[in-house]
């Protein structure tokens, strides 16, 4: 696009669109075959930083996917939440091997011989992602060495507020991804309750730095027993803040 980037009028940027229907163009995925190939581990790369703007009506969960030429090694970053109508914001993807979720082989292998890097919307650490109707702007992509100071904190920048971001897919079967944001370091508990308020399962509990995190629920309780189909409540407690979202499990 010729104008409307982070710098305003006459600032160029790349705009990505997906239809959310089926077939070509239904998924929000962009990839680079040549310019981003190489050995990220030996290069000491620590993060990829870029400016993004979500112009669509759907909250986005962005990830980077690294794969080698043979496809034997593949790994994705933790999710970065970009809310609908976000405006331009700088986001950071941590890309050290210890930061990635392995899809095949090893994260170190995917980074050592990267042939493709994909930017995609996917609340779940999987590939390929589900279709989504989306429009997002991308600009000023930068690779930074490990330990390089940045204007953003953690993997998703400092969120504007603490709370649940996306719960996707909803309804779900067999699992759902819950993305949430923490604006300040705090004690966090993410749990599932039934509609009577009874605890089904604690998904995550601990003290975490400011940023965006994602947990998944596979529809089981704390003993691994599959729960009945129906509505459940996802509850986030972070410091003095409590946020809840209803999710429906299908059979």
Angle CA 88–16–41, to nearest 5: 80
Q: Are strands 114-121 and 89-94 parallel, antiparallel or unpaired?
A: unpaired
218 within 8 A of 200, measured Cβ to Cβ: no
78 within 8 A of 173, measured Cβ to Cβ: no
> What residue spans define the domains of the chain?
14-145, 163-249
- Please state the φ and ψ torsions of residue 35, each to the nearest 5 degrees: -65, -25
How confident is the model at residue 152, as a pLDDT? 38
Q: What is the mean pLDDT of residues 152-172?
A: 68
How confident is the model at residue 160, as a pLDDT? 66
- Please state the φ and ψ torsions of residue 105, each to the nearest 5 degrees: 65, -115
How confident is the model at residue 147, as a pLDDT? 57
pLDDT tens digit sequence for 222-251: 988 999 999 999 999 999 899 999 999 998
Please check the confidence at residue 114 and state whether its pLDDT lies above 90. yes
pLDDT tens digit sequence for 25-81: 999 999 877 788 999 989 989 889 899 999 999 889 999 999 998 889 999 998 888
CA distance to 63, 87, 217, per residue, from 94 (Å): 10, 22, 24
CATH number (2.60.40.10, 3.90.1170.50, 3.90.25.10, 2.60.40.4070) of 163-249 reads 2.60.40.4070
* Residues sharing a CB contact under 8 Å with residue 119, sequence separation 6 or more, in sequence order: 16, 29, 30, 31, 62, 63, 64, 138
How confident is the model at residue 150, as a pLDDT? 40
Banded model confidence at residue 82, pLDDT cuts 50, 70, 90: confident
pLDDT above 90 covers a percentage of the chain that reads 49
Q: What is the mean pLDDT of residues 79-91?
A: 84
Please check the confidence at residue 146 and state whether its pLDDT lies above 80. no
Of residues 201 and 78, the one with the higher pLDDT is 201
Banded model confidence at residue 153, pLDDT cuts 50, 70, 90: very low
* Residues sharing a CB contact under 8 Å with residue 35, sequence separation 6 or more, in sequence order: none
CATH of domain 14-145: 2.60.120.430
Mean pLDDT, the chain, rounded, equals: 88
pLDDT above 70 covers a percentage of the chain that reads 94
How confident is the model at residue 227, as a pLDDT? 94
């Amino acid at each position: 696009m010729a104008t409307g980037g982070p710098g305003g009028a006459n600032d160029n940027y790349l705009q990505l669109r997906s239809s959310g229907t089926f077939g070509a163009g239904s998924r929000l995925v962009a990839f680079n075959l040549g310019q981003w190939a190489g050995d990220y581990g030996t290069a000491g790369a620590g993060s990829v930083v870029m400016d993004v703007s979500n112009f669509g009506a759907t909250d986005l969960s962005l990830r980077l996917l690294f794969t080698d030429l043979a496809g034997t090694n593949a790994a994705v970053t933790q999710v970065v939440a970009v809310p609908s109508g976000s405006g331009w914001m700088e986001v950071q993807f941590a890309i050290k091997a210890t930061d990635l979720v392995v899809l095949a082989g090893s994260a170190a292998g995917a980074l050592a011989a990267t042939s493709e890097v994909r930017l995609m919307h996917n609340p779940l650490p999987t590939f390929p992602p589900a279709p989504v109707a989306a429009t997002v702007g991308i600009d000023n992509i930068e690779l930074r060495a490990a330990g390089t100071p940045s204007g953003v904190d953690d993997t998703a920048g400092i969120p504007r507020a603490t709370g649940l971001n996306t719960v996707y897919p909803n309804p779900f079967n067999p699992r759902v991804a819950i993305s949430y944001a923490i604006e300040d370091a705090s004690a966090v508990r993410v749990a599932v309750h039934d509609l009577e308020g009874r605890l089904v399962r604690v998904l995550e509990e601990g003290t975490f730095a400011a940023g965006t995190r994602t947990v998944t629920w596979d529809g089981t309780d704390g003993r691994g027993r599959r729960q009945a189909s129906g509505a459940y409540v996802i509850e986030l407690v972070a410091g003095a803040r409590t946020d809840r979202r209803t999710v429906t499990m299908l059979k």
